Structure 1
Amino acid sequence: MTIVRRFAATVTAAGCLLLGLSVPAAPASAADSGYYVTEFDGYIWHGTAAETYEHISYSQWASAGFPAPTRVDVDYVRYSWSPNIFARFTLPATWAYGEPVEKASQVTFGEWRTAGYPTPATASWIPESFVSGHSTSDELFLQDPPLIKTGGGWVPSHKLSYAEWVAIGSPEPHIFNYQGFFRYGWTDKIFVVGGIEGWEPTGLPRLAGNAGGHVLTYDEWVHYGSPTPMVVDSLPGDVLWKWDAFPTLYYQGPQGVEILFLTWDEWSRMGFRTPTVRPYPS
């Protein structure tokens, strides 16, 4: 352990495996230390006062006196639509009257190899998955469990079919009423807008003063789960304009949603709407 202590400031428990060092695990007959290890990644878990678990750093483990962690049984699972493999495991309740804590972590290829290339079972539900929707359609999306090794990150979404939603147990989704996806009828660009406060009788959203959004790249749209946009001719506060000295048309929507250099085809599909003319700065 002397060698390991030299790295205490920078090495996590998972890093011990990368350095060829082993994380000791308590024998089956030993008393439960309250620390647990998932061997596929070397992470050590410890309960918190918030009745959950956090994976601890090497220095935290050292400060506790290197208590021998208990090995955690792990199942390897995946969703039928996804190539990603997840390690699913259950940690004991953090207090006498609590409930066991179910967790899951996406498995890297190296971790899968360390585990012996287990064949993942198809799961109906993986803990810490998240089902959500938004205000502009009835579509539902599932996000995989967060990527522990990247501190969460922006997890891709999968658009659920009705059959898939039923298969995972028809969980109640979290609806982001303040957010929606739109497409103007005169352009193929799709954009996301936040700050939706409600809906007008006209069917258009009522936007907060700080509403904003941006035009999505194709990759961003796919990352969101390829949501079907609500098609509108305009949004509150949209402006079509040009400089008095130049013919180029600009279209500006909610904060951040700017479609510059409007094409002739887009202007034609818009019905040759008359732009607001602004004096070019002298």
Structure 2
Amino acid sequence: MSTLKRALAAVATVALTGSLTVAAATPAAAVWYEDGVFALRYTDELWQVDIATDSAYPLTYTDWEALGFPAPKPARTDYVKYPWSPTVYAVTIFGDEREEWHWESITYEQWARAGFPAPRNAGWIEGSYYYQWATSDELFVVAPDETIHKLTFAEWAASGFEQPERYENEGFINFPLEPRHILYSSNLDARSIDYLTYSEWEAFGFPTPRLATDW
């Protein structure tokens, strides 16, 4: 695998370590909206909110049977997407805090089952990874569908000013005599560089290079 592919894979891997599902248990301060069994419109899955144990979790058929087959209540689910990506996510909201929300990227069939609700543009989606290269103040986000996007200030604000991870010794440069050639460095201190093609630069989200006047 090339250095460039390893760099992209590393960013995607870090992004995907974030979970799209709500934790089975949440912090002690959690405030749930309602106790009971809930049906998610886009799937056959049932969830139980148990305020006594401060948790929310999916039910198996056996679990539901053990409860006496209570009629499930309709869950409160919102459908969202990032403006720059076609992927639709269902977020089922069991309480006020992010830890009380269940996230899933949904298929076309699941979206159809829900009645094709128009997704609203979201500023933040669970599982998104925010980062910054050493050679610029620009911020980037990798969505759970692995799309990479360079954020505007307004988009960063819409995320709630999620704090990025900074790659302190990696970034992008160009040289005064070759300003149109963009290079990626996996180790700026060691001056390790790879020339980028346009498609490779695009894959990184078009990071602005720093002019290397001291190399």
TM-score bucket (shorter structure): 0.5 to 0.7
Could you say what secondary structure the match of 2:189 adopts?
strand
2:199 to 216, 219, 223: 219
Question: How far apart are the structure 2 equivalents of 1:90 and 1:178?
Answer: 39
Q: Which residue of 2 is the match for residue 141 of structure 1?
A: 140
Take 1:103 and 1:216, find their aligned partners in 2: how far apart are those partners? 39
TM value normalised by structure 1: 0.46
2-structure distance, mates of 1:89, 1:76: 9
Q: How much does 1:177 deviate?
A: 1.4
Deviations 1:169-206 (A, max 9, x none): 222222121321122342633232223xxxxxxxxx42
Name the counterpart of 1:160.
151
| Aligned-residue CA RMSD (Å) | 4.1
Distance in structure 1 (CA, Å) of the matches to 2:46 and 2:174: 47
Report if aligned partners of 1:90, 1:100 keep a CA contact under 8 Å in 2: no
Instruction: Select which of 158, 163, 186 maps to 1:172.
Output: 163
Residues 170 and 212 of structure 1: CA distance in aligned 2, closer, same or farther (over 3 Å): same
The answer as to whether partners of 1:193 and 1:212 remain within 8 angstroms in 2 is yes
Q: Which has the higher helix share?
A: 2
1:194 to 149, 170, 186: 186
Give the counterpart letter for 2:158 in structure 1: A
Three-state SS of the structure 1 residue aligned to 2:157 is helix
Question: 1:94-133 to 2 correspondence within 5 Å?
Answer: 100-133=99-132
Whole-angstrom CA distance in 2 between matches of 1:84 and 1:99: 20
Spell out, residue by residue over 1:211-236, the C-alpha distance to the aligned partner (whole angstroms, 9 max, x if none): 8564334333223221101122675x
Q: Distance in 2 between matches of 1:37 and 1:192?
A: 48
The answer as to 2:66 corresponding to 1:67 is: no
SS of 1:166's equivalent in the other structure is: helix
Task: Please state whether the residue corresponding to 1:206 is helix, strand or coil.
Answer: coil
Q: Which runs of 5+ in 1 are unaligned?
A: 1-29, 56-60, 93-97, 148-154, 196-204, 236-282
Rounded Cα–Cα distance in structure 2 between residues aligned with 1:42 and 1:217:
46
Rg: which structure is higher? 1
SS at match of 2:185: strand
Write the distance in 2 (CA, Å) between the matches of 1:213 and 1:105.
Answer: 38
1:207-261 CA-partner distances (Å, limit 9, x unpaired): 3xxx8564334333223221101122675xxxxxxxxxxxxxxxxxxxxxxxxxx
What code does the residue aligned with 2:182 have?
I
SS at structure 2 position matched to 1:189: strand
CA distance in 1 between partners of 2:212 and 2:105 (Å): 39
Contact 2:89 2:105 in 1 (8 A): yes
SS of the equivalent of 2:90 reads: strand
CA contact (8 A) 1:181 1:230 kept: yes
Checking the alignment, whether the CA contact within 8 Å between 1:41 and 1:111 is kept in structure 2 is yes
Matched position secondary structure for 1:128: coil
Give the match for residue 181 of structure 1: 172
Cα distance, 1:158 vs structure 2: 1.3
Matched pairs, number: 169
- Partners of 1:81 and 1:121 in 2: CA distance: 12
Bigger relative CO (Cα 8 Å, ≥ 6 apart): 2
